[in-house]
Structure 1
Amino acid sequence: MTLDTLLLYLVASVALAITPGPTMLLAMSNGIAGGMRAAAWGIAGASLGAAFLIAVVALGLGSLLAASEGLFNAIRAAGVAYLVWLGIKMWRSQPIDLRAALAASPADVLRPRTAFLRSLTVALSNPKTLLFFAAFLPQFVTSTTPQLPQYVLLGAVFIGIDTCVMLGYAAAGTQAVRWLSRRSLRMINRGCAAGMWLLAATLAVWRRPGA
């Protein structure tokens, strides 16, 4: 892999990471509901999910999903259902005063374990992401040299960039808690919920190239 190829990959990864997606919306919502601690655990879950998908691609298993229409549709249906359910939860959630809640009743704040598990589930339940990695990463891999170290490098770079962007979304959520009214926070939560439903609808109707 040449330096020019790596720089091109960096630019492409930044462009992809800043595009709002389910894990980005979750990072912001987690920041609103549980502060940076819960958001950080959610980001860890999303990053672990991304690492797993990249490992799957590196091992060549992404081709199995690409070849199996039944498996793809099964995972897609599960992903759509989970995004819809998560959107409902976010729509119904009530913003809280984090400082008062942490002092009075820590159980009322979003638990780190919950943030971690739902972010991990979102990352793993989207077959479109796996197919994207399967199509995107190999373009930057040199076939004449060992490929596994290249996938490790590309994966680490992408996850690092993605993590930084999610931290930005989470920080925006925590600042929103500090400066905005409960009504405004509720509108942000519902906007994130609507974003989840839009992503679910997009995944439901999305067809693979050549399908």
Structure 2
Amino acid sequence: MGAALSDGVLIAAAGLGLGAVLATSAVLFNVVKWAGVAYLVWLGVQMLRSAGEMGPVPGQKNGQGKGASPRRLTLFRKSFLVAVTNPKGYLFFTAFLPQFLNPSEPLLMQYARLALVFIAVDVAVMAIYAGLGAKAVQFLSNRGALWLDRTCGGLLIILGCALALVRRSDV
């Protein structure tokens, strides 16, 4: 849901013209880029430092009452921040969405429809990933989780470093 919310923020920003500003402002582009770099590297380091312990398997009772658990809120926040601090997301929506807009009709409703479609597709894809992940976690041991954390942490750091090398002319 964090990624879905970030889609809405990115599409709203594109609709307000912030993507175009990001594409033309080296300073703003670099601010967003370096925030994304820092966040990806920080997440990677946290994963490398983790104990690799398995969390509760989805569907199991974990003693928590109703409502969102702190772990779910953390995952929501992380997924939102990873997507919203990626300058390429803003540029993507700024370049992609206008192809589907009719300039003679009100733009707000068109952006809203496109946002709903994009968010629905994103939620469906993420639900499939989550379902596959819930099945996979049943087969992982704590040692497997440690290996997975180390691999994903390393990949996040590599992605952060790759993002650091991105220049405006490359996007």
TM-score by length of 1: 0.69
CA distance in 2, matches of 1:170, 1:76: 28
Residue 95 of structure 1 aligns with which residue? 53
> Structure 2 regions of 5+ residues with no counterpart?
none
Do 1:72 and 1:127's aligned partners in 2 also have CA atoms closer than 8 Å? Answer: yes
Residue 175 of structure 1 aligns with which residue? 135
Residue 145 of structure 1 aligns with which residue? 105
Structure with more relative contact order (C-alpha pairs < 8 Å, separation 6 or more): 2
Give the fraction of aligned pairs with identical amino acids, expressed as a percent.
Answer: 45
CA distance in 1, matches of 2:170, 2:79: 30
Q: What is the count of residue pairs matched by the alignment?
A: 164
Q: Going by fraction, where is helix more abundant, 1 or 2? A: 1
Match of 2:118 among 155, 158, 169: 158
Residue 18 of structure 1 aligns with which residue? none
CA distance in 1, matches of 2:27, 2:38: 17
- The AA in structure 2 aligned to 1:53 is L
CA distance in 1, matches of 2:33, 2:55: 36
- The AA in structure 2 aligned to 1:165 is V
Q: Does 1:67 align with 2:24?
A: yes
Do 2:54 and 2:141's aligned partners in 1 also have CA atoms closer than 8 Å? Answer: no
The runs of at least 4 consecutive aligned structure 1 residues that moved more than 6 Å come to none
> Structure 1 regions of 5+ residues with no counterpart?
1-43
Residue 159 of structure 2 aligns with which residue? 199
Residues 167 and 192 (structure 1 numbering): CA distance in 2 closer, same or farther, change over 3 Å? farther
RMSD (Å), alpha carbons: 2.4
Match of 2:149 among 189, 195, 206: 189
